[in-house]
Amino acid sequence: MESKLSTLDKQLQYTPPKNDLKGVIIACGIFILFILFWYHALFQIDLTKTYWFDIIGTFFILEFLYTGLFITCHDAIHGAVSNRVSSFGKITISHSTVYEKTKN
């Protein structure tokens, strides 16, 4: 006996996107923004000459981007960033493995 799905059930079923470009662009954008602000925080901020709102703003932007970077890496491990390009998940898993080995 076949189960017939209602139109609402059909609408709620997950279908992967036809193109992974949107997820890849968002992931690369978060990564590039994080690297740019990280560079700014390390090499361009002089604590004696920089305005306080630049220091605090950079800190909060870095915290926001770091959270986005963590979520993006976690999604890449599970294949949610790109279903067809599995290298994102492999890169994040290999990076975390190397980090765990060097931590001990």
pLDDT, tens only, 6-29: 777 766 776 767 777 888 888 889
CB atoms within 10 A of CB 46: 8
From CA 78, how far away is CA 97, in angstroms rounded?
16
pLDDT tens string 43-90: 999 989 999 999 999 999 999 999 998 898 888 777 777 776 666 666
Which pLDDT value is given to residue 103? 57
pTM, full prediction? 0.68
In this predicted structure, what is the pLDDT of residue 1? Answer: 43
Task: Decide: 37 and 62 in contact? Cβ < 8 Å.
Answer: yes
